[in-house]
Amino acid sequence: MSDDLKRRAVDGGFVAVAKLTSRTFWQWFSGHHVDSILVLAVTLFLTYQVVRWAMTFPYDVMVHEVPRYTGTDVGVIVAAVLGPWGLMQAALVKWYLELRIKTNSQPGVSP
């Protein structure tokens, strides 16, 4: 395929090299599942951040500030953050699994 790009003198220029490099990069990108790994990494990082917040928020509110929330209020606030995050996390994991199935499936074989 690379010989086809160099048949004419003008094909050895910057555009031809850029096309070949781009094609090679995207083949590597797809072959190593970089997109699905990035989705998984972002999901894990955001989960860490949300859980860290949920662990420190009650302590910060009850100890470092004037107690303006009751224990029930703090629990409701934490649940209001963790509930939607659980749904978002499920959607991200589903997306990750779909990316893995799409890239690992063979032609003609349905998952």
The tokens for 45 are 């990082």
* Whether 58 contacts 73, CB under 8 Å: no
Question: What is d(CA 79, CA 76) in angstroms, rounded to the nearest whole number?
Answer: 5
Judgement on whether residues 9 and 61 belong to the same structural domain of the protein: no
Give how many domains the chain has, as a whole number: 2
Judgement on whether residues 59 and 105 belong to the same structural domain of the protein: yes
What domain range is 38 assigned to?
33-111
Could you say which DSSP state residue 111 is in? Answer: -
What is the predicted pLDDT for the residue at 109?
Answer: 46
What is the predicted pLDDT for the residue at 3?
Answer: 57
Judgement on whether residues 56 and 27 belong to the same structural domain of the protein: no
Judgement on whether residues 77 and 44 belong to the same structural domain of the protein: yes
What is the predicted pLDDT for the residue at 23?
Answer: 78
pTM above 0.75, yes or no: no
Judgement on whether residues 72 and 104 belong to the same structural domain of the protein: yes
What is the predicted pLDDT for the residue at 9?
Answer: 61
Residues of the chain with pLDDT under 70: 1-12, 103-111
